[in-house]
Amino acid sequence: MKSFRILFTVAAILLLLLLTVPLAHMIVSADPAILASTLADREVTRSILLTLRCALRATLAGLFLGVPLAYLLARWEFRGKSIVQGLVDLPVMIPHTAMGVALLMIYGRKFMLGGLFDRLGISFVGTEAGISLAMAYVSMPFLVNAAREGFAGVDPRLEKVARTLGASPWQAFFLVTLPLCWRAVLSGAIMMWARGISEFGAVVVLAYHPMVAPILIWERFQSYGLRYARPVAVLLIIICLVFFAGLRWLAARSGREE
């Protein structure tokens, strides 16, 4: 038993070091004066705010569309269910630049849906809408899978009891099921937002401009080298750490108070 615990502890520590050392080194080695001047750069602040805003919009759309799909996958048995689950996971498996090309061939102004939306005055190429669309496509699996596991962990008999007591399907969902698995849904939403913030491949194909933070980092690295790209990367890492650590803390605190 002791050797088992020691072996697993060593493996866990090694993995944590592999994950944290590169990020910690980059943050610690950053010059505070350069970080301050970078934060004062309007192009950088606009890019970071754009990234956070578009990822949040993608996540809200994911909650609206992904939660119903997650519930159906958790509760209903139907022919082709495994195919649907595979389609949900598909954006994780294929290269995201390929996903960007696929989106461009659907939502570009000269193609299918893109032409229809263009007549309505909506464009997805080089716009915030396109950035949010690309982020949503590549990050949706994180929300759907987390929510599906949460719904699957709720005993269906509780919904049936609520129905026998006169609750409608909507009431049973919002008053019984969702309150019991909201942490799983929130966790999936946090992961979806985080994945959207980090997205590069699909966004760069569909909407190079306006620049989100990952594209700005890449452009500065390509044009000026590591010295100019690193401060932007450090700022984005710090902001993400603060945001998501705060969200995780709030979720854990709410769970303890229940």
Q: pTM here?
A: 0.89
**36 in a domain, yes or no?**
no
What range defines the domain where residue 201 resides? 53-211
Identify residue 157 by its one-letter amino acid code.
Answer: R
CA gap 211, 186 in Å, rounded: 28
What is the per-residue pLDDT across 102-156, written as a single tens digit (0 to 9) for each? Answer: 999 999 888 878 888 888 888 999 999 999 999 999 999 999 999 999 999 999 9
**114 in a domain, yes or no?**
yes
Number of domains composing the chain? 1
Q: What is the dihedral of CA 105, 108, 113, 118, to 10 degrees?
A: -170
Q: What is the dihedral of CA 226, 229, 230, 236, to 10 degrees?
A: -160
Neighbours of 153 (CB within 10 A): 11
Confidence class for position 250, pLDDT limits 50, 70, 90: confident
What is the per-residue pLDDT across 25-38, written as a single tens digit (0 to 9) for each? Answer: 888 888 888 888 88
Tokens of 181: 């698995």
| CATH number of the domain encompassing residue 177 | 1.10.3720.10
**34 in a domain, yes or no?**
no
**192 in a domain, yes or no?**
yes
Provide the sign of the torsion angle of the four alpha carbons 228, 232, 234, 235, taken in this order: positive
**253 in a domain, yes or no?**
no
**228 in a domain, yes or no?**
no
Closest CA to 194 of 62, 10, 22: 62
Cα–Cα separations (whole angstroms), residue 162 to 153, 158, 172, 185: 17, 6, 6, 21
Contacts of 54 (CB under 8 A, 6+ apart): 128, 131, 132, 135, 196, 212
What is the per-residue pLDDT across 187-236, written as a single tens digit (0 to 9) for each? Answer: 999 999 999 999 999 999 999 989 999 999 999 999 988 888 999 999 99
**220 in a domain, yes or no?**
no
